[in-house]
Structure 1
């Protein structure tokens, strides 16, 4: 029986890893492996019911709570005369978070089973293969004239955020093997990932990608390796200047133009619409601090933007989301959604800091930072990717195996 339990755990861990690596290649296959891993994890929890402990804090709890808040909000406020809209992104997001929390709980509760395999090497090879496949996919799209590469997704922004986080994990895994060959590959991976991030045309990722990698590098090594840093900066600079004319300069001009137009009261641009959405979203929270339905948010926003036409571009995107994780939660689920999201961010980061778990910490950093300009916990591919990644990273270090 013990052998069956350990094999089931290794299977769930492996399926979760495959799901993560397929996120940028095939979203349909990503979903298949993700849900199979969840169903097997639930089976594992039933089999291991005498072993699991519920009293001690687990990083799955804030994930499940966040999902439950979304589900309760949906059941209480989204019922209309003709019933519920079961195609709601909030409903689907809530279900994915609750189920994903079960996967994270199983993986973290029984992580001692990982000691029977060389999981670090397996992770390195699996993630490395996924990174290489996603990068090749991006270059293939760019060569064939795709203006903003999306890889296997339908939005370049989501692709950029997921790819950036995925490549940061790959760089960490190379660092953790502590040899010259891996350090060299890590430097090349940093430069390559920066190029692909530029090809996505996503400004937040372009600006923050190298910065997050730099902070992660200093946090991991506890010092700055001058020669290695200079080499990576030189390679990144060459990549930057080679792509400057076709990719970087147009983005700089676009940003300057959009900020100027917004200051003149015209928000019908990508950046201007975001500024307007954030303003209107905060106004919605002030109007309904305990939460409101999407219909109520639409009606209030319509009234507010009619009186303040400089924010009118908000109405084009309102029924999708407000391009900020926190503001989106506050504008619909009110203070309860905001607090649940805050606990999700802070508690998992605290566990990562306490256990010196670098990959978990920087997975959360990416989720938080990129959540300032998008709503990742409503996107199917992003939820599946980040929750599976939290589960996998949450078990890569047990308290007895802390980094030195």
Structure 2
């Protein structure tokens, strides 16, 4: 319900931004979005480093209730800033992109959110490759700078990264011995119970929880999923299938398809696909559109990116 309200509000904001063409070009709306995005990244980094080093917080949560939530809140605006920098006409955008990459990577790492730690550098690198292909020019300096920044970030927080890797390995070992009461084991158990207890036409959380408890009695190895039966199953499609049924999955696919069509046919900006695919990848290990903070970050990021491209297009037509 809360996510629906955020989506509806975002739709109205989207319409207003796209209706005021004259105002947008007069105030150079595109540059305003870019500077606001960069300022946001600086705030994220400063807040994360303050919590990690000054307050000695192991898993930084910013102002969110969970560190995982903070990881996703940082992830999507970081990708937005990366796209806007590449699309800007700054003379030193190579340096700016590298700085944004380094700061964002460090902020994501201290949240210890594995999905965000893997997704951000991967798509930041994909962005560079995409930019090289679109502009028919390879920026070797940027590739070198990003490689150096990546190594520096990994080395600076090597203890945190090694700990998370060891946790992952231990979780997989425990899962192989039918112990699902771990972070990874619980996720795998949730995927299994979600697929085994889904209803084609949808069902309530209470009904799903009842089915999962009955399934766990027959298969005790799935007990790792029990603490999460009243919230979500850490996979967008499986969670949607288990509560909203096949119609919910179809609507979800249509929503992502709409973004795909807009990116390729309406806006003709393949950069938007970076946000779409990052949503899909993160959705494999978590439910993105569940609580207020992450959906807000996602919708605001999509709106600002689309508004930026529209503003740049309007400015180009105005200059002509």
TM-score in same-fold range (> 0.5): yes
Matches within 5 A, 1:96-245: 96-111=6-21, 113-143=23-53, 144-222=55-133, 224-244=138-158
Structure 1 residue 344 corresponds to structure 2 residue 255: yes
Q: What is the CA distance between 1:350 and its match in structure 2?
A: 2.2
SS at match of 2:286: coil
Q: What is the CA distance between 1:179 and its match in structure 2?
A: 3.3
Evaluate the alpha carbon distance shift between residue 339 and residue 274 of structure 1 in structure 2; reply closer, same or farther with a 3 A threshold: same
Contact 2:64 2:70 survives alignment (8 Å): yes
Evaluate the alpha carbon distance shift between residue 141 and residue 321 of structure 1 in structure 2; reply closer, same or farther with a 3 A threshold: same
Matches within 5 A, 1:63-78: none
Contact 1:108 1:391 survives alignment (8 Å): no
Q: Report the number of matched residues.
A: 310
Contact 1:107 1:392 survives alignment (8 Å): no
Which residue pairs with 1:64 in the alignment? Answer: none
SS at match of 1:377: coil
Which contiguous aligned blocks of 4+ residues in structure 1 show a shift greater than 6 angstroms? none
Evaluate the alpha carbon distance shift between residue 365 and residue 108 of structure 1 in structure 2; reply closer, same or farther with a 3 A threshold: farther
Aligned mates of 2:90, 2:3 — CA distance in 1: 41
Aligned mates of 2:303, 2:21 — CA distance in 1: 10
Contact 1:142 1:199 survives alignment (8 Å): yes
Evaluate the alpha carbon distance shift between residue 359 and residue 158 of structure 1 in structure 2; reply closer, same or farther with a 3 A threshold: farther
Aligned mates of 2:18, 2:194 — CA distance in 1: 36
Contact 1:108 1:395 survives alignment (8 Å): yes
Question: Which of 285, 288, 304 is matched with 1:376 structurally?
Answer: 288
Greater alpha carbon shift after TM alignment, 305-314 vs 97-106: 97-106
Matches within 5 A, 1:180-329: 180-222=91-133, 224-244=138-158, 246-285=159-198, 288-329=199-240
SS at match of 1:153: coil
Aligned mates of 2:194, 2:4 — CA distance in 1: 20
Which residue pairs with 1:356 in the alignment? Answer: 268
Q: What is the CA distance between 1:260 and its match in structure 2?
A: 0.7
CA distances 1:324-368 after superposition (whole Å, capped 9, x unpaired) = 111111110101110111111121122112323355332322222
TM-score, normalisation: structure 1: 0.72
CA distances 1:120-169 after superposition (whole Å, capped 9, x unpaired) = 21112111111111100000001120001111212111111121211121
Unaligned runs of 5+ in 2: none
Evaluate the alpha carbon distance shift between residue 111 and residue 334 of structure 1 in structure 2; reply closer, same or farther with a 3 A threshold: farther
Which residue pairs with 1:394 in the alignment? Answer: 306
Unaligned runs of 5+ in 1: 1-90
CA distances 1:84-127 after superposition (whole Å, capped 9, x unpaired) = xxxxxxx2222332333232233335545422221121112111
Aligned mates of 2:191, 2:279 — CA distance in 1: 18
SS at match of 1:383: helix
RMSD: 2.0
TM-score, normalisation: structure 2: 0.91
Which residue pairs with 1:365 in the alignment? Answer: 277
Aligned mates of 2:297, 2:104 — CA distance in 1: 18
Contact 1:349 1:361 survives alignment (8 Å): yes
Contact 2:119 2:278 survives alignment (8 Å): no
Evaluate the alpha carbon distance shift between residue 282 and residue 111 of structure 1 in structure 2; reply closer, same or farther with a 3 A threshold: farther
CA distances 1:275-329 after superposition (whole Å, capped 9, x unpaired) = 00011111122xx111111111011111111111111111111111111111111
SS at match of 1:323: coil
